Structure 1
Amino acid sequence: MRRDRVPRWYFSLRSPYSWLAYRDLRTRYPDVLDRLEWRPFWEPDALSERLLTEAGGAFPYVAMSRAKHLYILQDVRRLVRERGEESTWPVDRDPCWEVPHLAYLAARDEGRGAEFVDVAYRLRWNEGRDICDSGTIAAIARELGLGESRLVEAVDDPKLRERGTTALLEVHRDGVFGVPFFVNGYEKFWGIDRLPAFAASVRGPGGAVEPAREPASTSDPGGDQGHAGGCG
């Protein structure tokens, strides 16, 4: 199969919507998840933004209004409850999103990219941990049985920075403006609410029908934090 025909999803370790989409893919559409190419999306720091610009790309960032920020907090609480999930909303203090996302690329080199995402999402959204902290990245490495230094130092690795630029160029070329974002052939789907339609397109004729909702719970993530504008 041609690489541009492989269905793919763009995810961010920052976004609660990406976390919930990952959870739905894993629990409701595992056959679809197994067929996807995983592509990371993150807000670049000054160095990554310069490298991206020099490569002819641009990052589609739009500042978030206060009204949208408050809506997202409410919306995520609702979605978490619907899934019977428990969450602790994290607090990001001067985050550098290259730290977890370049560490993901390093883990992927070891064949552990999916497991890295799974643990990072758990630490961030279930435990409220700061995944931009080197200590948290080291903890992920230990849990996965990977070398701590390789993952912790990924943010300072020139080769991984170069590959990060390539990843951000793919964001630019695919016209991704928020996450989760799904692509199947020429069809694009933005947001967690489009996941059933994306799954159906991947499965083909007679494919996915939205499963029954899982039991609701009274869990509440609480907290107050924004994230990249345009997240679906």
Structure 2
Amino acid sequence: MAAAKRNPRWYFSLRSPYSWLAYRDLVTMRPDVLDAIEWLPFWEPDARTEEILSDQGVTLPTVAMSRAKNFYILQDTRRLTRARGLHDITWPIDQNPCWEVAHLAWILADDEGRGKDFAAAAYRARWEQNKNISDPEVIAEIAAEFGLDSRRLAGAAEDEDLRKRGAALLERSARDGMFGVPFFISGREKFWGLDRVSQFVSSLTGEPEPEPATLPEREPAPGTNAELLPAGADAGHAGGCG
């Protein structure tokens, strides 16, 4: 890998399907990139964390998701997982989730050098095993898998000092201009979304970005004056939609 730009990092969420898929793409194709960058968790804070942020004058760019957007994400995730050959994916039902439970536990796991392992297990639990990662018992199971302190990780959301550390990370996301996950930063360049993973890798490594797929050339429709169209122009289609 080329010399890394200053403090390359990504904001990930254990809740987000797009963050999970970005993680899978990188761990499959460029695990060296995941090892080279800083990992920073993001989650929608509960009332207690919001109070800490409010006292610090921090407002996060989080908004309630509309029903229409939620249905779109369901469809989009199904398309994206099938395109990756993932056919046994579950869509978890989150009833009154507390995202501090998993994300503050991740901080503790990362303190022990097992943050990446914990994230992989939490993603697997959520998206492949249909487990509720807001359940402290699920977190305890993940902690035990890696020989971590199950009780401490399961009770991470009750640790006020840890909540302050978490709030500081959320404040940092606001300073970084983060507004959605996955969110990558390489030098002054910022990349948002699953479809920007390859651009981030290219910015970080100096390697050329893969060429985008191109559509085959279309034959002009009957009756179209193709010679009057600019080179490469679309000949249009029935219905007059342009």
The alignment's TM-score, normalised by the length of structure 1, stands at 0.86
In the other structure, the counterpart of 2:65 is 64
For the 8 Å contact 1:90–1:129, the answer to whether it is kept is yes
Match of residue 9 from structure 1: 10
Q: Could you say what secondary structure the match of 2:82 adopts?
A: helix
Structure 1 Cα separation of the partners of residues 64 and 176 of structure 2: 21
- Describe how 1:43-54 pairs up with structure 2 within 5 A: 43-54=44-55
1:145-156 residue pairs with structure 2 within 5 A? 145-156=147-158
C-alpha distance after superposition, 1:47-66 (max 9, x if no partner): 10010111221111122222
The structure with higher relative contact order (CA 8 Å, sep 6+) is 1
Partner of 2:227: none
Aligned-partner Cα distance in 2 for 1:33–1:210:
22
C-alpha deviations, 1:106-128, integer Å up to 9, x for none? 11111100100000000000111
- Structure 2 residues without counterparts, runs of 5 or longer: 214-242
Q: Tell me the equivalent position of 1:87.
A: 89
2:126 aligned with 1:124: yes
The answer for the alignment partner of 2:43 in structure 1 is 42
Mapped partners of 1:207, 1:34: distance in 2: 20
Alignment of 1:100 with 2:72, yes or no, is no
User: 1:113, 1:34 → 2: CA distance?
Assistant: 11
* Deviations 1:16-59, CA, capped at 9 Å, x for gaps: 00000000010012121111100000000011001011122111
**Shift in Å, 1:207:** 4.0
The 1-side partners of 2:33 and 2:26 are apart by 7
Superposition deviation, residue 163 in structure 1: 0.4
TM-score computed with the length of structure 2 as normaliser = 0.83
Secondary structure at 2:40's aligned position in 1? strand
More off after superposition, 48-57 vs 75-84: 48-57
Q: Distance in 2 between matches of 1:67 and 1:132?
A: 24
Number of corresponding residues: 209
The runs of 4+ residues in structure 1 deviating greater than 6 Å are none
Q: Which runs of 5+ in 1 are unaligned?
A: 213-232
Aligned position for 1:222: none
Amino acid at match of 1:46: A
What CA distance in whole angstroms lies between the structure 1 residues aligned with 2:69 and 2:140? 34
SS of the residue 1:117 aligns to = helix
SS in 1 for 2:125: helix
**2:174 aligns to what?**
172
The aligned residue for residue 117 of structure 2 is 115
| 56-65 or 97-106, which deviates more | 56-65
Q: In 2, are the aligned partners of 1:134 and 1:152 still within 8 Å (CA)? A: yes
What is the SS of the residue equivalent to 1:34?
A: helix
Q: Deviations over 1:132-160 (max 9, x none)?
A: 00110011011111111110111111221
Q: Which residue does 1:192 correspond to in 2?
A: 194
Cα–Cα, structure 1 residues 211 and 13, in superposed 2: closer, same or farther, change >3 Å?
Answer: farther
Question: In the alignment, which residue of structure 1 is the partner of 2:185?
Answer: 183
| C-alpha distance in structure 1 between counterparts of 2:211 and 2:22, whole Å | 14
Q: Take 1:159 and 1:135, find their aligned partners in 2: how far apart are those partners? A: 21
Does the aligned pair in 2 maintain the 1:196–1:210 contact within 8 Å? no
Secondary structure, aligned partner of 2:155: helix
Name the Cα RMSD after superposition.
1.7
Identity of aligned residues (%): 59
State the shift of 1:185 in Å.
1.0
